[in-house]
Structure 1
């Protein structure tokens, strides 16, 4: 069956985070998407259990694989990467990371995505020390993932996390090797007061994936078309920079009801498909 949308445009299960995973996947298939990002963010999207063991990995993988959807990435979290850990905490983080990597491998996901620090703009130590720690954690995770044929990406600018603006995203990226890809999210850039075109200008050759969501300054939870994001300008900048990767609608919107989400995803899918 031919996709209803551009072949490079998928849909994150975060868009339907209010549904259980099988229902979210069925909804995405019914709307005409061929590809997903899988949300695995505790408190944001619980489609993957935070307490993740081999049985849970097998169950989630089987559920995703039955859907027939391709999976581009798993959007996960293994804790605050800028916080120092004791021996027990380190062992727990490594176990969780290994299970997320196993899930990515079992579902054929290209990459695991990890955050750019804790859900706070304030460093746990000093900004320099925190950024060093986040970069080291991401590099170590990339090495573990690569051994299983999985890439490691990070959302280097996240409005609610340590690297919340262009300057901190730059400082983090300057610390990372080429084996850590960058995820661009239009909403986080605009919410922070930044310009997506400048983001592309800074990081274009490093961008591995793009999240589509609208925003206004200070608010990322806006439906596509209801915010201040100029998607046409931003997508043109990506194309001009030679970006050939994929996009995912990540419509964690709060300006519509849950019953309106399917229609909003269809509208957004058509708008973005025409612009890619």
Structure 2
């Protein structure tokens, strides 16, 4: 039996410094039974970025050997607000969907635009472009029996605050799930409680990591000033996990949670202990919010 809540997993991004096999072994040894796989350029290459049929087999074999369950694959398939990005014909997307089927992942998570707050054209047309690419991805994913989710608020990407996240979500097919990331919401100056209340049952997955709060200053219509840090260990930042988890419970969220600990305040040798401590803390809070709701 897992020492952590059955709805709590650990992303391989938490151990991105290790090869995939070693990261999976570390996560399993800590007592987690579920993972998200990371495939993000410059962040985590546990799923190869040049994914071909052999790569799909190799990753699937390593996951199968680990005994861990895959909840989702967190990936980047290009700047979805760029008119030259076409997910209708993306070979990379095809490989990721093949992998998701091979490892039994429920969904792949796609980004909410480029890692740049400035639109390529203008905000409305950029958001329309992102939504159109999601429509293409959803059509292809349905053929594989895989869901499409997005981290609709990401402090470093096009949809870098609550207003932009809402504008994108309004454009998306209701079948596209929303991933709530505590750290990006707080680092953008937003509120996890308000996010949970706003999206409710549309939230399909939650990323757990801490952050320091960003400050927001409006210049013109929409500018983020001094976003906070998303690279602090759980318990060392300003995220009120208890309130956020309670709000999710009140919103009837019934999905899973993943520790995504891309922390920079611990050494690589300290990461296993820091991950276990975060897992115990979130497990306790999940149990407490469940009892309070009963």
**Residue 194 to residue 100, structure 1, CA distance change in 2 (3 Å):** same
**Residue 263 to residue 177, structure 1, CA distance change in 2 (3 Å):** same
Aligned to 1:262: 272
| Structure 1 segments (4+ residues) deviating >2 Å | 89-93
**Residue 66 to residue 154, structure 1, CA distance change in 2 (3 Å):** same
Listed one character per residue, the Cα deviations across residues 46-65 of structure 1 (whole Å, up to 9, x for unaligned) are: 10111111111111111111
Cα contact 2:110–2:148 (8 A) shared by 1 = yes
Aligned to 2:117: 121
Aligned to 1:149: 145
SS of corresponding position for 1:11 = strand
Please tell me whether residue 131 in structure 1 is matched to residue 130 in structure 2. no
Aligned to 2:289: none
1:243 aligned residue (253, 258, 265): 253
Aligned to 2:223: none
**Residue 91 to residue 193, structure 1, CA distance change in 2 (3 Å):** closer
Aligned to 1:65: 64
Question: 1:137 & 1:61 partners in 2: Cα distance?
Answer: 26
Q: CA deviation at 1:204?
A: 1.2
Please tell me whether residue 56 in structure 1 is matched to residue 66 in structure 2. no
Q: CA deviation at 1:205?
A: 1.8
- Say what the alpha-carbon RMSD is for the aligned residues: 1.1
- Runs of at least 5 residues in structure 1 that lack an aligned partner in the other structure: none
Give the paired residue count: 272
Question: 1:74 & 1:226 partners in 2: Cα distance?
Answer: 27
- Runs of at least 5 residues in structure 2 that lack an aligned partner in the other structure: 214-227, 287-294
Q: CA deviation at 1:91?
A: 7.8
SS of corresponding position for 1:158 = coil
1:252 aligned residue (262, 269, 272): 262
Residue correspondence of structure 1 range 90-105 to structure 2 within 5 A:
90=86, 94-105=90-101
Cα contact 1:79–1:93 (8 A) shared by 2 = no
Question: 2:247 & 2:39 partners in 1: Cα distance?
Answer: 30
Listed one character per residue, the Cα deviations across residues 98-120 of structure 1 (whole Å, up to 9, x for unaligned) are: 10000000000000000000000
